[in-house]
């Protein structure tokens, strides 16, 4: 029987970063910071190793660029606390990897970085320049890549040989897919935040509430899942695929029957933590296939700018065309994209508009397109630039380069086996990290 090997597992981890950055370049604007490493202090000390304020701000900028969450004001302060906890976990993972002499292979790091650039149809140098326009040093991205690769390699080496699923488990999954034909079935994506102890309960609940708020404001669900979810599905943007009625726990199954396609659930307490579900579609089961509409989409965003400080990007909580800042940004977008933009020259035109504008795109299922763009993406003519669309971060315009029906078949056995491996490894990894947290000495500054 075929088992997930290092290449398969590492490519999954690389894809998690690559698509997160890709979606971020598609959906968000720049995040500028005048602060430097020399002007920031210490954010935390983890077992005598420092996390600097500069490290924290760089990671915040990277996450804002890759998810579309709001990094300003009070929301930004809450985000920083959440990101700091992530950096603490990352530091613990790297310390354990060092103790066990597990080091990220430089070739894997380079390949991942090249893959991220390729996902965005860029060279590595172009990716570096794009990140710098977002206020992010590429070193911050490289650090995250090294940590992800080292931790994934450590978990694989420590646990993979112990968890190989048997033929019976794979058969049971495939049989369940076939047996569900005719019953209600839901196309679902998830974000899972683990509650490790009763003391964590309230903070995890508040974190889940904040993520739901950001998702309702237009943050991309799959990018948020890749950065914050602790489920095995994080590597695929939270995608659970089609699940049959009764397949999930009672709490989750109930809410899927109550929400409509495209809707995000409130935080749901179940199975050791909090879940946030996105219902992408609903159907009568046909045996496990995936169907829908696939679109090749381009998107450009003109961020809102403070007229008094042209280098400063601002957020509008409830943007409308009557707002002077939004109106000025709409006029700027309309003027910059009057005519001549098409799918072939899209990126060249956007790059020619300077550092204050970001655009990108690619193929995705229509159900995965964020709410702000979904209706427009599903209805505008192919090759025609949309009317302006307003988000809290800026003014967007969308162009669809292709739109076609998509139909897949029942997954092959090795895909099912790889998913079972991934779920088991993710569970072992969460338990391992929980033990590292329990034994760590962490000081917040």
Task: Please tell me the distance from the alpha carbon of residue 426 to that of residue 270, in angstroms, as a whole number.
Answer: 17
- In a domain? residue 377: yes
- In a domain? residue 94: yes
What are the start-end ranges of the H helices in 31-166? 53-67, 73-99, 106-119, 124-133, 138-159
Task: Please tell me the distance from the alpha carbon of residue 61 to that of residue 47, in angstroms, as a whole number.
Answer: 25
**Average pLDDT value for residue range 76-81:** 82
**Average pLDDT value for residue range 51-61:** 89
Say whether pLDDT at 115 is over 60: yes
- In a domain? residue 429: no
- In a domain? residue 417: no
| Domain final residue, candidates 131, 162, 193 | 162
Residue 84, both tokens? 């700091």
Say whether pLDDT at 290 is over 60: no
Instruction: Tell whether 278 and 251 lie within a shared domain.
Output: yes
Residue 396, both tokens? 């967007």
Instruction: Tell whether 28 and 120 lie within a shared domain.
Output: yes
Number of domains in the chain: 3
Task: Please tell me the distance from the alpha carbon of residue 248 to that of residue 187, in angstroms, as a whole number.
Answer: 12
Domain span including residue 96: 6-162
Residue 399, both tokens? 């162009």
| Under 8 Å between Cβ of 86 and 67 | no
Instruction: Tell whether 297 and 360 lie within a shared domain.
Output: yes
Looking at the DSSP bridge assignments, the partners of residue 277 are: 190
| Phi–psi pair at 296, nearest 5 degrees | -105, 110
Write down the pTM of the prediction.
0.59
Question: Mean pLDDT of all residues in the chain?
Answer: 79
- In a domain? residue 171: no
| Domain final residue, candidates 237, 271, 286 | 286
Among 44, 25, 35, smallest CA distance to 442 is for: 44
Instruction: Tell whether 133 and 153 lie within a shared domain.
Output: yes
How many degrees, rounded to 5, is the angle at CA 379 between CA 376 and CA 380?
Answer: 75
CATH, residue 85: 1.10.4030.10
Say whether pLDDT at 170 is over 80: no
Instruction: Tell whether 305 and 388 lie within a shared domain.
Output: yes
Share of the chain above pLDDT 90, in %: 15
Q: Cβ neighbours of residue 263 under 8 Å, at least 6 residues apart? A: 278, 279
Task: Please tell me the distance from the alpha carbon of residue 386 to that of residue 120, in angstroms, as a whole number.
Answer: 21
Torsion of CA 303, 307, 313, 317, to 10 degrees: -80
Distances (CA, A) of 294 to 219, 299, 302: 20, 16, 26
Instruction: Tell whether 310 and 238 lie within a shared domain.
Output: no
C-alpha distance across the termini of the chain, in Å: 51
Instruction: Tell whether 267 and 246 lie within a shared domain.
Output: yes
Collapse the DSSP code of 393 into the 3-class scheme (helix H, G, I; strand E, B; otherwise coil) and give the result.
coil
Residue 284 confidence (pLDDT): 62
């Amino acid at each position: 029987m075929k088992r997930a090997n290092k290449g398969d597992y590492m490519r999954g981890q690389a894809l998690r970063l690559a698509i997160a950055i890709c979606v971020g370049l598609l959906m968000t604007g720049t995040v500028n910071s005048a602060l430097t490493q020399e002007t920031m202090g210490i954010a935390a000390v983890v077992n005598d190793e420092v996390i600097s304020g500069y490290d924290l701000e760089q990671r915040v900028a990277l996450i804002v660029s890759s998810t579309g969450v709001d990094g300003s004001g009070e929301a930004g302060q809450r985000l920083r606390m959440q990101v700091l906890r992530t950096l603490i976990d990352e530091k613990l993972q790297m310390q354990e990897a060092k103790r066990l002499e597990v080091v990220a292979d430089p070739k894997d790091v380079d390949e991942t970085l090249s893959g991220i650039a390729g996902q965005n149809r860029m060279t590595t140098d172009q990716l570096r320049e794009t990140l710098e326009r977002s206020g992010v040093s590429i070193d911050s991205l490289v650090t995250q890549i090294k940590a992800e690769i080292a931790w994934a390699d450590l978990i694989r080496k420590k646990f993979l040989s112990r968890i190989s699923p048997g033929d019976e488990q794979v058969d049971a999954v495939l049989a369940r897919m076939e047996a569900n034909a005719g019953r209600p079935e839901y196309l679902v994506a998830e974000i899972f935040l683990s509650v490790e102890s009763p003391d964590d309960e309230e903070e995890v609940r508040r974190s889940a509430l904040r993520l739901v708020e950001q998702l309702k404001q237009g943050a991309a669900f799959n990018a948020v899942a890749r950065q914050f979810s602790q489920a095995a599905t994080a590597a695929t943007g939270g995608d659970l695929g089609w699940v049959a009625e009764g397949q999930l726990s009672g709490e989750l199954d109930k809410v899927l029957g109550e929400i409509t396609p495209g809707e995000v659930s409130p935080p749901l307490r179940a199975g050791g933590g909090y879940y946030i579900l996105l219902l992408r579609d609903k159907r009568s089961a046909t045996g496990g296939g995936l169907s829908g509409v696939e679109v090749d989409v381009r998107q450009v965003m003109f961020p809102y700018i403070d007229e008094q400080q042209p280098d400063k990007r601002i957020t509008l909580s409830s943007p409308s065309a009557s707002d002077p800042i939004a109106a000025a940004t709409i006029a700027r977008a309309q003027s910059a994209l009057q005519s001549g933009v098409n799918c072939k020259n899209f990126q060249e035109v956007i790059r020619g508009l300077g550092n204050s504008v970001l655009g990108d795109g690619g193929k995705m299922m229509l159900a995965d397109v964020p709410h702000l763009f979904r209706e427009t993406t599903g209805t505008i003519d192919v090759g025609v630039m949309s009317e302006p669309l307003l988000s809290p971060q800026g003014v967007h315009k969308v162009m669809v380069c292709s739109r076609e029906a998509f139909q897949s078949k029942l997954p092959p056995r090795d895909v099912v086996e790889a998913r079972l491996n991934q779920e088991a490894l993710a569970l072992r990894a969460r338990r391992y990290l929980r033990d590292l947290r329990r034994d760590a000495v962490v000081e917040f500054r």
